Structure 1
Amino acid sequence: MTETSRGAVTGGVGDSPVRPDGTLKVTGQFAFSSDLSADGMLWGATLRSPYARARIRGIDLTAALALPGVRAVLTAADVPGAGSYGLEVADQPVLAADEVSYQGEPVAVVAADHPETARRAAARIVVDYEPLPPVTDAEAALAAGDIFRHVPVRRGDAHATAEVVVSGVYQVGMQDQAFLGPESGLAMPTVDGGVDLYIATQWLHVDQRQVASCLGLPVDRVRLYLAGVGGAFGAREDLSMQVHACLLALRTGRPVKMVYGREESFFGHVHRHPALMRYEHGADRDGRLVYVKAHIVLDGGAYASSTPAVVANAATLGVGPYEVPNVVMDAYGARTNNPPCGAMRGFGAVQTCFGYESQMDKLAAALGLDPVEIRRRNAMTTGSVMPTGQVVDGPAPVARLLELVRDRPAPLAASGDPREWPGGVANTTHGESVVRGVGYAIGIKNVCFSEGFDDYSTARVRLEMVGGEPVVLVHTAAAEVGQGLVTLQAQIARTELGVERVVVAAADTTVGSAGSSSASRQSYVTGGAVRAACQAVRDGVLARLGARAGPADGLRLAGGMVVTASGVAVADLAEVLGDDPVEETRQWRHRPTHPLDPRTGQGDAHVQYAFAAHRATVDVDVELGLVRVVEIATAQDVGKAINPQAVLGQIHGGTAQGLGLALMEELRVVDGLVRNPSFTDYLIPTILDVPPMTVDVLELADPHAPYGLRGVGEPPTISSTPAVVAAIRAATGLALSRVPVRPEYLTGAV
């Protein structure tokens, strides 16, 4: 055969194809989980505890059941299987039985013909509570022995001394993931006595396992299908209404839909752990770190969720991307009666980065060094040893990233236009009290799950002829939560199989687990699984051809043809496939990790490390306590930009989320009670708060990763917060040891 004339396949690895869900989302046509409906559908509602801690002495359902249109009212006594669930520890009750442990804990659920009827019925349930004194101070909880996990890390000489020593106490408030699509889903009873659940989640198979356990059903009779997800950021790793909807559906024999309102959403999911961190850094006169000592307390709230893993991240990443010969680190997760905390973008690493980067600025000031220079002098590189003893064997361009943001041109001075002042045109001054500052930070984050967890993904790929052209079907259980994973899977299939038309099936539990869409792992692990399955399909096609036409060595698929490495066509795929598709399923695992030594914290706990640096420029009105972020420059190594446009989107979005933590985002909890469960009082950055961003993307391939890629989504959230705060410190001269930075911190009101 002659050289193929078919055009080259576009939309592969390294391209930025249009997202298949993009237009639908922008135009409002995309179906999110809250848009689901079914014939005969009932609506579910939840009764939640008004107390942070109380004993339940009795529950009276009479008035709720008497309301017309109410079809079921369930309590803990109606749970047929395990009464509790949890990601790592099954300690969270499906419905509270004897005692409630945080405000908002579910006590009963209702199903009714109309959502308002369900809400009214829930309000009619009478619960006899005996309020108890809540434990709301994490350090007091530690003293009482209420600890989810303690991770110590010991390296070198615990008694090392240094010529220059700086110390500080730092706090991080409770941040909410604040996704725009609240918790929702639809449960449908099935003829086999099981249930189908259409749900917005991050981890289909772990949801399935927990739901089946609570329902007392075999796993294969609980089938989950991913519904449209309106953001996640970690909060959808934990169950919310999944079991409740299924219980009601099975009790009534009808489909049941549950949709949280915004206020209920604040109570219905976990949040970022508040942190109290005590750091001591010692260095020599040249600014070389000699030792770091740290004591970190994370408030896990009432239930474990992913607190043990968050504590491990805080401990293993808590000295930052620096070479430190001597480390004494202790990280704790405390159990309190505050709202449960769990996964949120960059978990564990976000809190500690604010601590250690604040310390690096303090050390620079004590030594009279430039903030970038002191970081460069201590920057880890390939071959550096982590405090856990793990060798960083991939690219670690810490100094280079710092140099990139440092060398970016400075933004122009404010023009005098009142729209450029902190507070905008609402500012009551005229810019005379505005000062500018510049701050830097760099962070480190692990990619994928750690500590020996069996972290893998499964992909099923089928190549077939449809309408006379080859089509690839990719099927995984990986949750698309807005990060562009659907696009990435198609890009990999086009690259590996040389076929333009790729269909990505909706994620569900009829295919093997893909793990969670968290820990910046899906591109790495599901990308690896899709690649492996595609390669197996390609080998299957070539094997067929080899059986008919000799050895298949050196042949590949391109543009619907089987071609040689030089592009000479050997066969048409239509001829090879005929009516017999080639389908392969593959699991793909990254290299193994290992548990940490429980006494010393030593061990190769992580798969891969990722780094990002930020330079923030801010204007601060010191009279009004207002801050305007003028510009943010960021640099990040992504290994390989599978989708360059999506990479930029992740860096922009992660940076904005870190800016929110720096300046405005905090769920205020007083005596265990949430004071601001609404977007009126819980502020998140708008387009007016997010500044222009310049981005430098490095592509230093990791030899252990598919295509050399590195997880992208979390690192920009980690270092943007301390960079913004450092810039405010530079402008005002204030210490600022807590985030978010409130206006009263800047005006001297507190």
Structure 2
Amino acid sequence: MGITRTPTSLTQSSATRGGIGESTLRPDGTLKVTGEFAYSSDLWHEDMLWGYTLRSTVAHAAIVSIDTGEALATPGVYAVLTYDDLPTEVKHYGLEIRDTPVLAHGKVRHHGEPVALVAADHPETARRAAAKIRVEYEPLPVITDEASATAPDAVLVHEGRDDHHIGHVPHPNIVHRQPVVRGDAAAAAARADVVVSGEYVFGMQDQAFLGPESGLAVPAEDGGVDLYVATQWLHSDLGQIAPVLGLPERKVRMTLSGVGGAFGGREDLSMQIHGCLLALRTGKPVKIVYNRFESFFGHVHRHPARLWYEHGATRDGRLTHVRCRIVLDGGAYASSSPAVVGNAASLSIGPYVVDDVDVEALALYTNNPPCGAMRGFGAVQACFAYEAQMDRVAAELGMDPVEFRQINAMEQGAVMPTGQTVDSPAPVAELLRRVKSRPLPPERQWETTEGADVRALPGGLSNTTHGEGVVRGVGYAVGIKNVGFSEGFDDYSTARVRMQAINGEAVATVHTAMAEVGQGGVTVHAQIARSELGVTQVTIQPADTQVGSAGSTSASRQTYMTGGAVKNTCEAVRAKVLDLGRRKFGTYHPAWATAELLLEDGKVVTDGGEVLAGIAEVLDDEVVDLELEFRHRPTQAFDLRTGQGNGHVQYSFAAHRAVVEVDTELGLVKVVELACAQDVGKALNPLSVVGQIQGGTTQGLGVAVMEEIVVDPVTALVRNPSFTDYLIPTILDTPTIPVDVLELADAQAPYGLRGVGEAPTLSSTPAVLAAIRQATGLALNRTPVRPEHLTGP
């Protein structure tokens, strides 16, 4: 790992140990690696029941009848619920469009849709009782792609749509459409010396988090319910749950439980409403834990996509124009498809300067599995296609692919296709230079004095080759990702900070609703508090809805937004502490009034280092407790005709160089190295930053060569809902991932930081594909690459 520290005035405000800029360890790290950490699936309550969900076995069908009699008669069963048993007139929920029924009504729209709920005294009893529910289906035509979705006689996935997007789409089976038009792409195409077009297919990826959906709902004496759950956004869940239950939000109290990964798959509801309904119906605590098979149906996935691109360039390597069309399959329900479309459209050209663009992005309603948020959020699919195009144009021009990218790379001050000026560092050319200049790993690493080390060969421990047909390839890619919520969304976060003296030591307590899903916010918030308040002891309270919203743990926003809220609140607390000191000690020490005062290592000091008092001495028996909100600068919605608008708050950039070895006879791929360079603005916790970059890189590797949810194109049934058949990278598949971290401060952001977690997921996938193309000479226009794509006719 190389960390390049760029001089900046946006440095930490104190020298307290364990503050920002240091690699502090996670407080939950040891518990997690030793198996002692309590996840939501470990929750337990005396006398609790177990909930189970009956799911549809077909993708699109009318529900003729549901017979629950035999299930209700099963010993140990306390309740069976269907749509008709829901307690209020509010029977739908959703992140952006409330189109998802709590339980299917009238018809089912995708394989695995919830149809009925069972609560019983044992999980196996609940499962067996659910199997006794008789559901009669009448098949309906299955919508699986754009052709079947937009045909003149197409069956509507949702009849009678009345959401706010309906006026902006050409067909009711289109969730949302966003064009981006700038300049005159048609005229620019006529001036191009080279024009290259291509079609690309991006497979459906699963978040593949290791902790399945789970939670515990406990009925309360006031008629409300306490819900302990693994989620990404407590307050969004609350706003969807309470209306269905017919309860005011104050009576639905939510507490974050241990989260075993998320990556976007926990932004939507899963068992939350179902668990609460069963708890309120039975008057007993109800726990629901999905098994792995059910988890594949219980959350959204990354949108599969079909993309068409056309790039033009002059002989000297300048891009003249880009035209593209991106079709995302949103599946049966909207989830966050409108926002994914906005990201795909606005970031569809990549981190390049192009004056003339013509873009159309849209998402479909189909009977395929619902798709929504996943790390990279629309930008991943676009990056796969535009980076393949950049390689093809460079080849057509006879140019080095990195040099071609650098010629067209944006810099600070560049204008996006949406008309927005990039007003913070955009070191695209430098990131590419860094990954290219890194020494290549040695060739033929499998050769040892004892013979071939099969672990270093394509195919690994399967021992299928000893290197006879293995060739090496090297590929490059770079991407651009927005940070934070966009398009005019009121994106804010809240933090409560309490400071007091306990046993003669000043201590701080930080309380937010931020969902800790593994990204390390619990570490960062403590670091911020130590830096701003000058204390060593910081307690991070459990996240719940007893404090204001922190927004979602997604969009690379939490360190920026909730970190910003913690910083702002700490600054206000610090001011109050210093005011207490001035009132208590200022009369006999003039430095209290005249000096620049700092809090460091438990003391109040002047900027010259003179100690004025201990912080605990200042506080004495006083308690300073404040709760404040933090907002980033405003954004605006994209124009629905032209796509123009300042839609994003910040951009992040990452570049990769992939080194692969391919057995061209057997179609096996070994990714040897995925070197990354990324600008993070400010590394608040360098160790955590590198971990985020390596994790995102590995997820991009997965979708490049192995990960895909396979859906039958005729029946829309999921074929591989298990980790036996849905493959994810293991430690044996993960290459060396050297990371070069730049710190070029964004003056608009707290400490100058830049969101980190998503950008590396973009560029790692096309870098791997580029390397495989170089090794094989094949076009390879889809993900993931399978052995048959490398050895077929």
TM-score w.r.t. structure 1 length? 0.98
CA distance in 1, matches of 2:102, 2:784: 33
Aligned pair count? 743
Q: Is the 8 A contact 1:662 1:722 kept in 2?
A: yes
By how many angstroms is 1:138 displaced?
A: 3.0
Per the alignment, residue 400 of structure 1 pairs with 430
Q: How does 1:491-510 map to 2 (within 5 A)?
A: 491-510=527-546
Of the three residues 722, 728, 731, the one matched with 1:687 is 731
Q: Is the 8 A contact 1:139 1:297 kept in 2?
A: no
Q: Is the 8 A contact 2:514 2:550 kept in 1?
A: yes
Of the three residues 324, 328, 338, the one matched with 1:308 is 338
Q: Given the alignment of the two structures, is residue 24 of structure 1 paired with residue 31 of structure 2, yes or no?
A: yes
Of the three residues 273, 290, 296, the one matched with 2:320 is 290
By how many angstroms is 1:467 displaced?
A: 2.4
Q: Is the 8 A contact 2:457 2:465 kept in 1?
A: no
Q: How does 1:72-87 map to 2 (within 5 A)?
A: 72-81=79-88, 82-87=90-95
More deviation in 565-574 or 250-259? 565-574
Per the alignment, residue 569 of structure 1 pairs with 611
By how many angstroms is 1:577 displaced?
A: 1.2
CA deviation digits over 1:187-235, x for unaligned, max 9? 0000111100000000000000100011111111101100000000000
CA distance in 1, matches of 2:503, 2:286: 39
Per the alignment, residue 556 of structure 1 pairs with 598
By how many angstroms is 1:635 displaced?
A: 0.2
Q: Is the 8 A contact 1:654 1:713 kept in 2?
A: yes
Q: How does 1:410-449 map to 2 (within 5 A)?
A: 410-415=440-445, 416=447, 417-419=452-454, 420-449=456-485
CA distance in 2, matches of 1:24, 1:254: 30
Q: Given the alignment of the two structures, is residue 747 of structure 1 paired with residue 791 of structure 2, yes or no?
A: yes
Per the alignment, residue 134 of structure 2 pairs with 126
By how many angstroms is 1:8 displaced?
A: 6.0
By how many angstroms is 1:181 displaced?
A: 0.0
Q: How does 1:556-705 map to 2 (within 5 A)?
A: 556-670=598-712, 671-705=715-749
Q: Given the alignment of the two structures, is residue 541 of structure 1 paired with residue 571 of structure 2, yes or no?
A: no
Q: How does 1:228-307 map to 2 (within 5 A)?
A: 228-307=258-337
By how many angstroms is 1:545 displaced?
A: 1.4
Name the SS for the 2:334 alignment partner. Answer: coil
Letter in 1 for 2:242: A
CA deviation digits over 1:441-464, x for unaligned, max 9? 000000000000000100000001
Q: Is the 8 A contact 2:584 2:618 kept in 1?
A: no
CA distance in 1, matches of 2:598, 2:87: 54
Name the SS for the 2:301 alignment partner. Answer: coil
Of the three residues 518, 521, 528, the one matched with 1:482 is 518
Q: Given the alignment of the two structures, is residue 164 of structure 1 paired with residue 191 of structure 2, yes or no?
A: no
Per the alignment, residue 759 of structure 2 pairs with 715
Per the alignment, residue 4 of structure 1 pairs with none
Name the SS for the 2:185 alignment partner. Answer: coil
Q: Is the 8 A contact 1:45 1:119 kept in 2?
A: yes
Per the alignment, residue 383 of structure 1 pairs with 413
CA distance in 2, matches of 1:378, 1:17: 39
Per the alignment, residue 54 of structure 1 pairs with 61
CA deviation digits over 1:516-539, x for unaligned, max 9? 000000000001000001001100
By how many angstroms is 1:561 displaced?
A: 1.5
Q: Given the alignment of the two structures, is residue 200 of structure 1 paired with residue 215 of structure 2, yes or no?
A: no
Q: Is the 8 A contact 2:499 2:573 kept in 1?
A: yes
Q: Given the alignment of the two structures, is residue 117 of structure 1 paired with residue 125 of structure 2, yes or no?
A: yes
Name the SS for the 2:604 alignment partner. Answer: strand
CA deviation digits over 1:342-373, x for unaligned, max 9? 00000100000000000000001100000101
CA distance in 2, matches of 1:537, 1:430: 64
Per the alignment, residue 10 of structure 1 pairs with 17
Q: Given the alignment of the two structures, is residue 706 of structure 1 paired with residue 755 of structure 2, yes or no?
A: no
Q: How does 1:451-530 map to 2 (within 5 A)?
A: 451-530=487-566
Q: Is the 8 A contact 1:138 1:298 kept in 2?
A: no
Letter in 1 for 2:68: L
Distance 1:192 1:370, change over 3 A: same
More deviation in 142-151 or 251-260? 142-151
CA distance in 1, matches of 2:148, 2:461: 45
Letter in 2 for 1:576: V
CA deviation digits over 1:281-300, x for unaligned, max 9? 01111110000000100000
Per the alignment, residue 589 of structure 2 pairs with none
Letter in 1 for 2:95: L
By how many angstroms is 1:572 displaced?
A: 1.9
CA distance in 2, matches of 1:654, 1:8: 31
CA distance in 1, matches of 2:503, 2:41: 35
Q: Given the alignment of the two structures, is residue 738 of structure 1 paired with residue 782 of structure 2, yes or no?
A: yes
Q: Given the alignment of the two structures, is residue 153 of structure 1 paired with residue 195 of structure 2, yes or no?
A: no
Of the three residues 357, 365, 370, the one matched with 1:327 is 357
CA distance in 1, matches of 2:375, 2:20: 25
Name the SS for the 1:669 alignment partner. Answer: coil
CA distance in 1, matches of 2:147, 2:240: 31
Q: Is the 8 A contact 1:475 1:504 kept in 2?
A: yes
By how many angstroms is 1:425 displaced?
A: 4.4
CA distance in 2, matches of 1:195, 1:277: 46
Name the SS for the 1:547 alignment partner. Answer: helix
Q: Which runs of 4+ in 1 moved over 3 A?
A: 549-553
Q: Is the 8 A contact 1:102 1:338 kept in 2?
A: yes
Q: Is the 8 A contact 2:683 2:689 kept in 1?
A: yes
CA deviation digits over 1:697-717, x for unaligned, max 9? 000000000000000000010
Name the SS for the 2:372 alignment partner. Answer: coil
Name the SS for the 1:549 alignment partner. Answer: helix
Distance 1:8 1:88, change over 3 A: closer
Name the SS for the 1:385 alignment partner. Answer: coil
Q: Is the 8 A contact 2:185 2:322 kept in 1?
A: no
Runs of 5+ unmatched residues, structure 2? 1-13, 155-170, 587-591
CA distance in 2, matches of 1:429, 1:37: 50
Letter in 2 for 1:150: R
Name the SS for the 1:280 alignment partner. Answer: strand
CA distance in 1, matches of 2:217, 2:146: 37
By how many angstroms is 1:429 displaced?
A: 3.4
CA deviation digits over 1:385-430, x for unaligned, max 9? 0000000000000000000000000110114224222012424333
Q: Given the alignment of the two structures, is residue 138 of structure 1 paired with residue 146 of structure 2, yes or no?
A: yes
Of the three residues 90, 95, 103, the one matched with 1:95 is 103
RMSD, aligned CA: 1.0
Q: Is the 8 A contact 1:139 1:334 kept in 2?
A: no
Runs of 5+ unmatched residues, structure 1? 1-6
CA distance in 2, matches of 1:426, 1:569: 66
Q: How does 1:36-55 map to 2 (within 5 A)?
A: 36-55=43-62
CA distance in 1, matches of 2:710, 2:101: 24
Letter in 2 for 1:277: L
CA distance in 1, matches of 2:645, 2:464: 56
TM-score w.r.t. structure 2 length? 0.93
